[in-house]
Amino acid sequence: ETLAFLGDTPFSELHIFPYSEREGTKALSIKPIVSQSEKKRRSELLHNLSDSRIADFYRSQRGKTKTVLWETTKNPKVMNGYTENYLLVSAEMEQEKINTFQKIVF
């Protein structure tokens, strides 16, 4: 049911995590209890769907002008930034661009 619902829902990425039946949580009372192997199988299906949607979203942005806020990374040769719609961009480090906005063609 979840996959069918998500198939018709516009989104670019999912945050997926299995619930656990812990004392004091509502998950403990959910019936039927779903096995760990089934949770893993469902999680993998959702991760595959999410990966596909992320790739589609990135492809849909090609050729569009975006604004990036450049940030440092652990790698001194690379800077990363996120666009206004949260696309991750990496480029060769230019220290003077750190903490600045730059228009790029994605």
pLDDT tens digits, 4-60: 888 878 888 888 987 777 788 877 787 888 888 998 999 999 999 999 999 999 999
Q: Using the Cα atoms of residue 94, residue 99, residue 100 and residue 106 in order, give the sign of their dihedral.
A: positive
pLDDT tens digits, 77-106: 999 999 999 999 999 999 999 999 999 998
